[in-house]
Amino acid sequence: MFKDFITNASLLVTSFFIIGQLFKDYRLRPSSSWKMKTALGVCFGLQGILLMIYSVRVNEFVIVDLRHIPTVVAAMQGGPVSAVVSAIIITFGRIGLFGPSHSSIVASILMLLIGITCGALAGRKGLSLRRFLLLNTVAMIYVSAAVSLNLHMNALLQQLASILAYHWLISTVVGLLSLYAFLYIVRAHESTRQLQESEARYKRLITASPDATLVLSQDLIVFINEKGIRLLRAAARKELLGRSIYDFFHPDNRNTAWTHCQDIRSGKAQPELIEQKLVCLDDTEIIVELSVSPTVYKGSAALLVTLRDITGRKTTERQLQEALALLQKLSDLDGLTGIANRRKLDEHLAEAWSGCAASRSPLSVIMFDVDHFKAFNDSYGHLGGDEVLRTIASTANAVLLQQSHFIARYGGEEFACVLTEVGAEEAYEWAESIRMAVERLALPYKQSDASQYVTVSLGLATLVPDASAPPEQLIDLADKALYQAKAEGRNRTVCYGSTDETADQ
């Protein structure tokens, strides 16, 4: 008899597994639809009939088995509907298999009572081991009553204790074992279904994302949305699936991208937006904002990569920077002559003053202007005067550019030059180079009493700057030297504080 119970237990566990597989795509619970509850009751009823086929025959009048367990589980899983349906099917199976008899009728009535009672007691809380023990105890009380009645009617009460002891023990142990197996199956299917639903939502989100989104498994593309297909210039998804993501990184930053992905995968780095250059399938180079984060895809660790094309934005930013640089340059230039203006002169002189003060180096300033320029304007007109100023500015700038010295229009027809780390003697040579270069232009000026050509007068001053003193004092000294050059006859260079270094033309 013990071996027969073990056979029943094996059938019970196996059939639970089959039922679990049949309903793996459905949520089995007391709140399920009545159709689902009925289908569940039918399956558990057939399970009970299967157990009866391999029932344990105590004698020609009494048979015992585990048929009540499917009804108990049906009650917990599907509520009263499933419990009653399974009990009815088992009842008809009992009469059909063993024929109508007093014992069959008693067993059938008790089976119906088990279905109704367990269905009523099960409630809507689903499967649990504690509730199974309660319902199994109730069912076994009915079963024990039926067994006792049959044994009494056949004068076999002396076997009652041993039969019930085996039955209660096997029913409880095997019932708990089979319920645990069924719980495991149901929960495993539920977890799988939740994972599938999560992945389905995940795919829908990725598909609807306005950004290019792809999933990497072992650095290979296993999923990519339509935006990503278009971004990488592919005609179809199959052109990208299975390819390494690093095939699309520009060679200049491929190693950086690989390191970043590995750090994200290992947890050494946190997801952040980084800029990368990609090379598409048609060899187009684009700049993207890239974000990499760990994820799970089809149950395995993966990387979620989001790409946003910022090529247009970067182009706009570059053009804006170029425009700002040009604007800054234009704001530093004199509109007429094209060289630096007075504001830029003040900035440059202040920087040169600080630098030379720190290094204790000499700083020289040359001031010069066009001789008799007002009279020139009166004779040749303002347009002629403007052209002379442009020509002289360009000529002096060309002279000073040989050593990257600085020149600016100081105002009107006056110009200023800043020579960093240049002493008085060398500054004088530069001033003379400017004066002679202008003279070689041979710009006609018939009304001049200094020369028949346009000339300039120059004054220079040299100091080793004192950081506590204002740099404007060097401009004042050079301007005084220029005033002296004009007073001495123009077309000459005068160094402040010296009359020996004056060159007359």
Annotated catalytic sites, by residue? 413
The two tokens of residue 410 are 């100081």
The two tokens of residue 305 are 């990569």
Cα dihedral sign, 234-240-243-245: positive
Mean pLDDT of the chain: 84
Phi, then psi, of 331 in degrees rounded to 5: -70, -20
pLDDT of residue 499: 41
| pLDDT at residue 324 greater than cutoff 70 | yes
pLDDT tens-place string over residues 424-450 = 999 999 999 999 999 999 999 876 666
pLDDT tens-place string over residues 55-96 = 666 555 556 677 888 888 888 888 888 889 988 998 888 888
56 three-class SS: strand
Q: What is the DSSP string of 372-401?
A: THHHHHHHHHHHHHHHHHHHHHHHHHHHHG
What's the rounded mean pLDDT across residues 192-209?
67
Residue partners of 497: CB distance under 8 A and separation at least 6: 461
pLDDT tens-place string over residues 95-148 = 887 777 777 787 788 888 888 888 888 766 666 777 888 888 888 888 888 778
Share of the chain above pLDDT 70, in %: 86
147 or 205: which leads in pLDDT: 147
CB 1 within 8 A of CB 166: yes
Please indicate, yes or no, whether the overall pTM of this predicted structure exceeds 0.75.
no
pLDDT tens-place string over residues 159-191 = 677 677 767 877 777 777 777 777 777 777 777
Q: Distance between CA 270 and CA 261 in Å, rounded? A: 10
pLDDT tier at 402, thresholds 50, 70, 90: confident
Letter string b/e over residues 440-450, b meaning 16 or more CB atoms within 10 A of that residue's CB: eeebebeebeb
pLDDT tens-place string over residues 228-267 = 899 999 999 899 999 999 999 999 888 888 888 888 888 8
pLDDT of residue 54: 75
